[in-house]
Amino acid sequence: MGIFSSIGTPLRVLRLCFCFFLLLGGVWGQDAQQLPPPPAPAQPGDLEIVADTQETIGSLRLLRGSVELRLNATVLTAEEVDYNEETGETEARGNVHYFNRESKEDLYAEKVSYNARTEQGTFYTVHGTVASASQGGVRILTTDNPFYLEGKVVTKAKNHYWVHDGFVTNCETASPWWTLRAPRTRIIPGESATVHRGVFRLRGAPIFYFPYFKKSLEKLPRNSGFLTPNIGNSSRFGFVLGQSYFWAINRSYDATIGGTLYTDRGIASQIGFRGRPTESSHFDAFFFGVKDRGRPQADGTRGPKQSGRSFSMRGAAWFPGGFRGVAQINYLSSLDFRQEFTQTFEEAATSQVRSIGFVSKNLSTFSMNVSLLRDENFQSITPGDKVVIRNLPNMEFNSHARQIAAGPVPVWFSLDSSFGLVSRTQPEFQTRRFVQRGDFYPRISTKFALGDFHFTPTFGARQTSYGQSRAEGGLVGQNLYRNTKEFSLDFVPPALERIYSGPKWLGEKVKHVIEPRATYRYVDGVENFGRVIRFDERDIFNSTNELDIGITNRVYTKDQSGRVREVFALEVWQRRYFDPDFGGALIPGVRNVFQSTISLSPFAFADQARNYSPIVTSMRVQPNWRYRLEWRNDYDPLRGKLVNSSVNTDMRVSDLLGLSFGHNAVRTPTALSAPSNQFSAGVRIGDFNRRGWNAAVSTIYDYRQSIFIYNTSQVTYNTDCCGFSVEWSGLAVGRNPNGNLFRISLSIANVGSFGTLRPQERLF
């Protein structure tokens, strides 16, 4: 019967299989109906609870063992939690940890009473961190450390924390450099920290007491309040104590008002005012004044009083119609005051005070300007020894080169014109209050080429009128007219160039280019140069017949990426004068400054008739961004020596080490300018925000006087959360050639600095 004899017919087998599958399907279907539905995903605002055991008594849930509560961005873990579902009241005990991932609040406590709905609660025996805004940059020491706090009790109301009987720091907690302990501290993460009756401790030693201290934690803080005080000592001023108040008037204006006590000299006051009246305008102003008692002398008397005031203001605005206005106002009561109370060599050595305001508009190649100018040059510290030049007002209408004809011989037109009311006042010399001066200077130019030789001739005429003039007896009211004609020819021969395979440290390819150039210039018509009153560069225009000859060597490199840069440039030029007495304008034996001399070199050299100028050389070397050398000098064949030289070099040896050196020398006769021979050097190790030791030195040594006229040394040590800085500086300028200043500063990362060494006065 075969295999089917023991089982049955194939039909019977199929029936048995069908019944088995029906029975199995019924069981599966019954099990599927008994499985619970999958839980819905948690929605924002839902409370998630995880615990080893849970017990419910009415609305109270008792959670025990590895309890974790999650609500939005907040996570609360503890050993035991009692949670009221109706009120949201939560009491957590045993190794309580509260964390908010959005505000970066990370707190540990023994016990917490907290309402998960109102986000209010009390933490007992607390320690933890609260993130702070990094407000650093070039002026504030920064750290990534959050603020660490400890307290017996911390109360929380949404994002407000009150720390009772605790301290705050942003140092590493194992051994913090500084702490600020107070009976009550209020912290609003990302907004502010307020301390009441706080004691600032450095390595456990009390340093400052703050009845009230508030620090902004915003990225761009702007709140009214007292700034950190300035404290220091100076051989010129005595003990120094300063305090300022910052007033955030509104979103568009703020002011800084402060005072400084110099125990040996008197009281100084300073006011800063900034504003942005409109979206297209802004200004800032600063006032500084000192009521001086005079410097104490060895015999018990006091030196001369050097009281004074200074004021500066800068602003700009855009007006309808494309007009732009700019103003820069400066006032200085005396040079003696500046040299005594300045803190920098650059400011002490500056004797010019310029105020200018103008409104301008550009249209195509044309420009229109209306300006007011007051230029004050102090000749010495003697009262009244100064030159004051006013331009009230001056109107200009100019145009740079504008093509007016095309074709094989194109033509360009350019124009300079002005009309103003000017005046000049100095000891024993004073013009009228308003002297009319008009100047009209049109020019026509073209260009053409003969093979590779390019020529650019220019023809011009100039007419200038003055409402007052000079004479042998002084000033006269007679008008003066100056009419000149001018011709110049710019000649550019073909450049010579060659390409070499460069060394790897310089580039793949090196290109050497030699560029010769010559310019001939002829001016005639200035027959009354001595009668012109000097106000500005328009009044030193002279008759001349001269030729400039120059040659420039340039070296370019190209790297693998195809970038081209100039690594070396050497320019040499000289001017040949076919009219050695400059159209009769030269006065032998004195300093003469003409357009023909100052357009070649800023150093005066005309004290006698001459057929040629000094040979001017300018060299620039910059093989890469780390090294730069510039050298400019004038060699005078008439005197057979180098009369002027200026060398400056910067070397960034590494990211932490920078060096700079310079030398300036003037060896012309005293009638031309005062001789000078000065050496400057600077060394920087580290930077403002680097941890560890950082130092910088800047010095200027005068070989002729054999003294250091300026010397500043700064040393800083930065920890992970604060920095200590010391500066010693000497300034040999003015009445007190041996003035020394000692300044110190304590910087708290992300907070600010205490002391007299301001961040903007650092050398690094």
| pLDDT above 80: residue 194 | yes
Q: How far apart are CA 567 and CA 565, in angstroms?
A: 6
19-33, 49-63, 284-298: least confident range: 19-33
Burial 50-64 (b: 16+ CB within 10 A, else e): ebeeeeeeeeebebb
> Residue 439 — pLDDT band, cuts 50, 70, 90?
very high
| pLDDT above 70: residue 351 | yes
| pLDDT above 70: residue 33 | no
Q: For the chain, what is the mean pLDDT?
A: 86
What is residue 538's predicted lDDT score, i.e. its pLDDT?
A: 92
Burial 662-674 (b: 16+ CB within 10 A, else e): bbbbbbbeeebbe
- Of the candidates 235, 225, 306, 301, the one whose C-alpha atom is nearest the C-alpha of residue 268 is 306
| pLDDT above 90: residue 168 | no
What is residue 737's predicted lDDT score, i.e. its pLDDT?
A: 59
| pLDDT above 70: residue 713 | yes
| pLDDT above 70: residue 44 | no
What is residue 652's predicted lDDT score, i.e. its pLDDT?
A: 92
The conformation of residue 503, written as its DSSP 8-state character, comes to P
What is residue 240's predicted lDDT score, i.e. its pLDDT?
A: 84
Exposed / middle / buried, residue 634 (Cβ in 10 Å: 0-12, 13-18, 19+): buried
17-26, 185-194, 552-561, 649-658: least confident range: 17-26
Q: Give the pLDDT confidence of 247-298 residue by residue, as tens digits.
A: 999 989 999 999 999 999 999 999 999 999 999 999 999 999 999 998 888 8
What is residue 45's predicted lDDT score, i.e. its pLDDT?
A: 55
Q: Are 558 and 496 in contact (CB under 8 A)?
A: no
Q: Are 203 and 192 in contact (CB under 8 A)?
A: no
The conformation of residue 227, written as its DSSP 8-state character, comes to P
Q: Give the E-state strand segments of 381-434 in sequence order.
A: 386-405, 411-426, 429-430
What is residue 570's predicted lDDT score, i.e. its pLDDT?
A: 97
Q: Give the pLDDT confidence of 715-744 residue by residue, as tens digits.
A: 999 998 999 998 888 777 666 556 677 788
Q: How far is CA 265 from the centre of its chain?
A: 32
The DSSP string of 258-307 is EEEEETTTEEEEEEEEEE-SSTTEEEEEEEEEEEE--PBPTTS-B-----
User: 760 or 276: which carries more pLDDT confidence?
Assistant: 276
216-230, 351-365, 501-515: least confident range: 216-230
Q: What mean pLDDT do residues 350-358 have?
A: 93
What is residue 734's predicted lDDT score, i.e. its pLDDT?
A: 61
Residues with Cβ < 8 Å from 275, sequence gap 6 or more?
A: 252, 253, 254, 282, 283, 284
User: Both tokens of residue 474?
Assistant: 């002084």
Q: Give the pLDDT confidence of 618-675 residue by residue, as tens digits.
A: 999 998 889 999 999 999 999 999 999 999 999 999 888 999 999 999 998 888 888 8
| pLDDT above 50: residue 517 | yes
What is residue 311's predicted lDDT score, i.e. its pLDDT?
A: 96
DSSP run (H or E) holding 7: helix 4-7
What is residue 342's predicted lDDT score, i.e. its pLDDT?
A: 81
Q: Are 414 and 400 in contact (CB under 8 A)?
A: yes
Q: What mean pLDDT do residues 315-319 have?
A: 95
User: Both tokens of residue 220?
Assistant: 């761009």
Interior CA angle at 757 toward 751 and 762, to 5°?
95
